[in-house]
């Protein structure tokens, strides 16, 4: 560089060295991440944006939840966000709702192994098949819990919806998730289940709609289809788009927390394409790379080009395992709100 060449893009903002000490809070740790680079600085920015989203009462908060987040232990985090008024609309998968209901009515997921000692992964999974155990990476689910789930749907959920279909025609997918939440809550309470009633129950109890646009792609969807073969029960796949679009249209300001990608991510973000404004805040937690052009890894800056985010929107993307990043971001953002620092 010569004296005549100005440094147009350089600002004197030196990297700091994060401190990790005994007794620090998760919020203090997130602040320390802000001194560092790469993923640490991304976590810090995500906390900053999410805390501002949650701390502003004028923001309508949309939450997209994809991936195996419920069976891997993230269920209570999402349910508590709903109970505390931090989620106004939840968009998720039929799989997450299936596993949520299984826990609500007495089933459990268990720690497992990717492969057993002395066996290949294939040999291990062949043994699990013989034992009647389904594997989600290093989480096990005994298959008998799916029979429990089927009975729950047929006894507690589908009959009321069938009666509505007989009287009025098809019901919306959101109406299915609402009825699932009601049934989960009632069975959980009546049978004094040790585990909490979960995500769908919290949404039902707090009038938070759950949208599940790809419900067919799940055991819940399979059970709904099978029940429809011998009854008047059927789902209207398009009607939910009216209610979620109304929420977006009526929002003074809007924020999106997107965990994972796929349908929940796109369904959450595309809502703003038919609203007068776009998201003012957005955070995504994903492990998918943007270079493939797939939606799951696409940056939120790219979403801005589609008009899904406002040009001036605050947004952050964190590329890491969401079972690590979601608890950290939520806890740190909650700490800021409790300290009165969220809306700043």
Percent of the chain with pLDDT over 70: 98
**Does residue 255 fall inside a structural domain?**
yes
- Give the model's confidence band at 343: pLDDT under 50 very low, under 70 low, under 90 confident, else very high: low
**Does residue 122 fall inside a structural domain?**
no
Q: What per-residue confidence (pLDDT) applies to 15?
A: 86
Residue 312 belongs to a domain? yes
pLDDT in tens, 72-97: 999 999 999 999 999 999 999 999 99
> Is 118 domain-assigned?
no
Average pLDDT of the chain to the nearest whole number: 94
**pLDDT tens by residue, 204-227:** 999 999 999 999 999 999 999 999
CA 273 to chain centre: 21
- Output the pLDDT for position 2: 58
Task: Kindly report, residue by residue over 122-151, the tens digit of the pLDDT.
Answer: 999 999 999 999 999 999 999 999 999 999
Cβ of 234: how many Cβ atoms within 10 Å? 16
pLDDT at 256 over 70: yes
The answer to whether position 163 is within a domain reads no
Whole-number pLDDT of residue 115: 86
Report yes or no on 9 lying in a domain. Answer: no
Nearest to 169 by CA among 236, 241, 230, 238: 236
* Domain contains 287: yes
Task: Flag whether 116 is in a domain.
Answer: no
Mean pLDDT of all residues in 193-198? 96
Q: What is the DSSP string of 71-110?
A: IIIIHHHHHHHHHTT--SEEEE-HHHHHHHHHHHTT---E
CATH number at residue 318: 3.40.910.10
Range of the domain at 324: 26-93+207-342
Predicted TM-score of the model (pTM): 0.94
Instruction: Report how many domains make up the chain.
Output: 1
What is the band of 280 on the pLDDT scale with cuts at 50, 70, 90? Answer: very high
Dihedral sign, Cα of residue 202, residue 205, residue 207, residue 210: positive
**pLDDT attached to residue 271:** 94
Report, as an integer, the average pLDDT of 91-115. Answer: 96
pLDDT band at 3 (very low <50, low <70, confident <90, very high): low
Residues annotated catalytic, as ranges? 308
Question: Please, which pLDDT band fits residue 344 given cuts at 50, 70 and 90?
Answer: very low
């Amino acid at each position: 560089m010569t004296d005549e060449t100005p440094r147009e893009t350089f600002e004197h903002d030196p990297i700091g060295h994060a401190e990790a000490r005994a007794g620090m809070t998760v919020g203090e740790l997130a602040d320390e991440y802000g001194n560092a680079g790469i993923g640490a600085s991304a976590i810090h920015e995500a906390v900053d944006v999410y805390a501002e989203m949650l701390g502003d009462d004028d923001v309508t908060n949309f939450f997209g939840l994809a991936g195996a987040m419920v069976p891997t232990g993230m269920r209570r985090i999402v349910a508590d966000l709903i109970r505390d008024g931090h989620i106004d609309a939840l968009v998720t998968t039929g799989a997450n709702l299936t596993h949520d209901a299984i826990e609500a009515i007495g089933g459990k997921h268990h720690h497992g192994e990717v492969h057993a000692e002395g066996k290949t992964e294939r040999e291990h999974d062949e043994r699990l098949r013989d034992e009647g155990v389904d594997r989600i990476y290093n989480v096990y689910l005994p298959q008998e819990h799916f029979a429990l789930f089927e009975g729950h749907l047929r006894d507690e959920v589908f009959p009321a919806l069938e009666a509505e279909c007989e009287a009025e025609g098809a019901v919306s997918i959101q109406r299915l998730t609402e009825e699932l939440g009601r049934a989960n809550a009632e069975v959980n309470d009546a049978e004094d289940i040790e585990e909490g009633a979960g995500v769908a129950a919290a949404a039902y109890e707090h009038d938070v709609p759950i949208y599940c646009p790809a419900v067919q792609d799940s055991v819940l969807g399979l059970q709904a289809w099978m029940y429809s073969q011998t009854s008047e029960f059927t789902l209207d796949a398009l009607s939910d788009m009216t209610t979620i679009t109304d929420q977006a249209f009526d929002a003074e300001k809007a924020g999106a927390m997107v965990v994972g990608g796929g349908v929940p991510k796109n369904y959450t973000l595309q809502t703003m394409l038919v609203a007068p404004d776009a998201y003012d805040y957005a955070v995504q937690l994903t492990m998918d790379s943007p270079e493939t052009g797939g939606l799951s890894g696409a940056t939120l800056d790219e979403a801005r080009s589609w008009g899904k985010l406002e040009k001036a929107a605050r947004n952050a993307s964190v590329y890491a395992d969401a079972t690590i990043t979601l608890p950290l971001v939520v806890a740190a953002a909650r700490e800021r709100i409790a300290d009165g620092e969220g809306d700043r």
